[in-house]
């Protein structure tokens, strides 16, 4: 075990060999925890089929994203609970609790029976496990970042905390790699049937390694010294958010972590959903492309962390957000051009327009799996949404039957409210066949053609998105750590970080997908990260200080 003591002076001396070992151990344990958390996101489509089988296909995917977001929703509560413990009893013991909760919850997802076996209990238990994962992760990041920062010397905090920043991407990379190996070894059918559980089972092995790693850690020297002097906080939450620090925490959320979060999840998660769900790329190939981009760009975390020690945290984080604001639309349109050029050509040559009475168009979302969307507008939009076809809306006369035009062709829907189930099914199948034929005639592909994918360009575009992730994420830990005093640092930095990443970022896939489903425009979901990132640039530039030269021993 490391022999770090309270008399160490990490703020004025270089890191010793022992310090580097414990920082490595802390980072490695965090990689495993992120691996556990992101397995779910990487397998959202399959999990939707397994645990929300009572819903229609569109609602399965939406509810899978909602369950994914549930883990993010509770992260701020985990930040409060474990942040308080970390500031009162120490960083090391909090690490042990969070990793055990995360590992066990992940393993239980892997053995949880599906909807077909347990019925409604299956998704309820699944969401409960996701909540436990979110609580654990809420206590993990602030502790890891604080622990590493409190060992680092002045002038190198950005560099050393940047290694913690790589852990989320490395955890995602590891999850994609394990999924890819299982899918290729078992085959698509067996993997989607039961093999998807194997990556969750692996978490038991990672849990054992992670617990062993956490047991090797000594307590933070700054915390030991503060505890020896009797200066630990007795009410970290009150001191953090109901005093002058509360204003700093709010500004850190809106002017730093909110924008950082949407760029992070836009570049690494929404891009994956966009490739597979919108552009129809084979999930296996999409995983490989994302993994390559992660491998190529991950060094950016360390580069921008190091650079933040030279020119400042604020400049780099806000620059990354600003670049995202101006490049997201062209980059995602370029992905369409290089992944599914047939779709792009079909949309340009034969755009799809749904003309309907707006009052007779329901929002395409079925929370209980019972709605049949029998109005003529709903029938068209349900069919188009299921096929992933972009469309524009046009207002029709009141009470009129909805129509869909595909280039020069036009199809009329039908009103199904008065039809019984058998008749409605027959009519729907007939309409669906006509729609499919019309789309095929107009050149709309059923999925992306692997032979038409410009692989180098797709990898380059994805790598650019991940580089933006490294810009906003590499320096963020050092920036947050330096904003708050030692006695309440764990609690104070954790809450804005996890509200930003858990709420603003974690809800990005669901929010963007819902916007796309409502508008029919496959790019409209990008307005969410663009608006949030722009807000962060303005607030961060005007109200947050640069902190790179601060002494954090106070």
Only one residue has tokens 């066949």, namely: 433
pLDDT for 485 beyond 90: no
- Count of positions (residues) in the chain: 554
pLDDT interval class at 18 (50, 70, 90):
low
SS3 state of residue 392:
strand
Do residues 520 and 392 lie in contact, with contact meaning Cβ atoms separated by under 8 Å? yes
Question: What's the pTM value of the predicted model, to 2 decimals?
Answer: 0.80
**What's domain 349-441's architecture?**
3-Layer(aba) Sandwich (3.40)
SS3 state of residue 222:
helix
Do residues 51 and 115 lie in contact, with contact meaning Cβ atoms separated by under 8 Å? yes
Per-residue pLDDT of 349-396, as tens digits, reads 899 999 988 888 776 544 334 455 678 888 888 778 777 788 988 999
- How far apart, in Å, are the Cα atoms of 83 and each of 27, 37, 199, 301? 18, 19, 29, 25
Do residues 519 and 276 lie in contact, with contact meaning Cβ atoms separated by under 8 Å? no
Per-residue pLDDT of 46-63, as tens digits, reads 887 888 776 666 566 667
- Write out the residue limits of the CATH 1.20.1250.20 domain(s) in the chain: 17-340+450-543
pLDDT for 9 beyond 50: no
- Pick the residue with more confidence: 109 or 6? 109
Dihedral (C-alpha) 181, 184, 190, 193: value to the nearest 10 degrees?
50
Q: Residues 434-450: what's their mean pLDDT?
A: 90
pLDDT for 547 beyond 80: yes
pLDDT for 535 beyond 50: yes
Between CA 184 and CA 169 the distance in angstroms is 22
H helix and E strand count, the chain: 26, 4
Please report the pLDDT score of residue 254 as a whole number. Answer: 94
Between CA 320 and CA 262 the distance in angstroms is 11
Per-residue pLDDT of 93-125, as tens digits, reads 787 788 888 888 889 989 999 888 888 888 889
pLDDT for 343 beyond 60: yes
SS3 state of residue 394:
strand
pLDDT for 2 beyond 60: no
| Longest pairwise C-alpha distance within the chain | 81
- Write out the residue limits of the CATH 3.40.30 domain(s) in the chain: 349-441
- Pick the residue with more confidence: 17 or 262? 262
Q: If one looks up domain 17-340+450-543 in CATH, what number appears?
A: 1.20.1250.20
Per-residue pLDDT of 291-336, as tens digits, reads 899 889 989 999 999 999 999 999 999 999 999 999 999 999 999 9
Question: What would the two tokens of residue 309 be?
Answer: 């020690």
Tell me which DSSP letter residue 412 carries. Answer: E
Per-residue pLDDT of 219-277, as tens digits, reads 666 666 666 766 666 667 777 677 777 888 899 999 999 999 999 989 988 898 889 88
Please report the pLDDT score of residue 44 as a whole number. Answer: 74
Question: What would the two tokens of residue 140 be?
Answer: 């993990």
């Amino acid at each position: 075990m490391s022999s770090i003591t309270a008399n160490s002076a990490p703020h004025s001396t270089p890191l010793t060999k022992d310090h580097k070992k414990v920082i490595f151990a802390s980072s490695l344990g965090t990689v495993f925890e992120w691996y556990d958390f992101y397995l779910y996101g990487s397998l959202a489509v399959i999990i939707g089929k397994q645990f929300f089988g009572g819903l229609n296909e569109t609602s399965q995917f939406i509810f899978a994203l909602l369950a994914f977001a549930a883990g993010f929703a509770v992260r701020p509560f985990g930040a409060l609970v474990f942040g308080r413990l970390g500031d009162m009893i120490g960083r090391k013991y909090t690490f042990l609790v969070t990793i055990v909760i995360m590992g066990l919850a992940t393993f239980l997802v892997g053995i949880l029976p599906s909807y077909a076996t347990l019925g409604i209990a299956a998704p309820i238990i699944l969401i409960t496990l996701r909540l436990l994962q979110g609580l654990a992760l809420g206590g993990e990041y602030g502790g890891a970042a604080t622990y590493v920062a409190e060992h680092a010397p002045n002038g190198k905090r950005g560099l050393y905390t940047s290694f913690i920043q790589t852990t989320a991407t490395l955890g995602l990379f590891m999850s994609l790699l394990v999924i890819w190996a299982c899918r290729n070894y078992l085959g698509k059918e067996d993997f989607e049937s039961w093999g998807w559980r194997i990556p969750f089972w692996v978490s038991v092995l990672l849990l054992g390694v992670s617990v062993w790693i956490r047991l090797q850690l000594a307590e933070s020297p700054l915390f030991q010294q503060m505890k020896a002097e009797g200066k630990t906080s007795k009410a970290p939450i009150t001191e953090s958010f109901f005093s002058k620090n509360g204003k700093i925490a709010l500004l850190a959320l809106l002017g730093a972590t909110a924008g950082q979060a949407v760029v992070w999840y836009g570049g690494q998660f929404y891009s994956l959903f966009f490739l597979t769900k919108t552009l129809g790329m084979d999930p296996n190939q999409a995983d490989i492309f994302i993994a390559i981009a992660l491998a190529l760009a991950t060094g950016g975390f360390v580069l921008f962390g190091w650079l933040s020690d030279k020119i400042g945290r604020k400049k780099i984080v806000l620059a990354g957000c600003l670049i995202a604001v101006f490049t997201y639309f062209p980059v995602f349109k370029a992905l369409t051009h290089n992944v599914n050029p047939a779709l792009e050509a079909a949309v340009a040559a034969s755009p799809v327009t749904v003309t309907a009475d707006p009052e007779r168009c329901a929002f395409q979302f079925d929370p209980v799996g019972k709605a049949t969307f029998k109005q003529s507008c709903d029938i068209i939009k349900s069919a188009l949404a299921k096929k992933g076809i972009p469309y524009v809306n046009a207002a029709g006369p009141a009470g009129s039957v909805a129509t869909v035009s595909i280039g020069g062709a036009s199809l009329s829907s039908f009103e199904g409210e008065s039809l019984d189930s058998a008749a409605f099914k027959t009519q729907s199948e007939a309409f669906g066949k006509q729609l499919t034929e019309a789309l095929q005639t107009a050149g709309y592909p059923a999925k992306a053609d692997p032979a038409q994918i410009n692989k180098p360009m797709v990898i380059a575009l994805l790598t650019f998105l991940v580089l933006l992730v490294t810009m906003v994420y590499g320096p963020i830990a050092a920036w947050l750590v330096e904003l708050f005093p030692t006695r309440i640092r764990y609690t104070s930095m954790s809450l804005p970080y996890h509200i930003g990443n858990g709420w603003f970022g974690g809800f990005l896939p669901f929010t963007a997908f819902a916007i796309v489903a409502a508008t029919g425009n496959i790019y409209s979901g990008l307005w969410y990260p663009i608006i949030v990132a722009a807000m962060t640039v303005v607030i961060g530039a005007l109200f947050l200080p640069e902190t790179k030269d601060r002494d954090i021993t106070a």
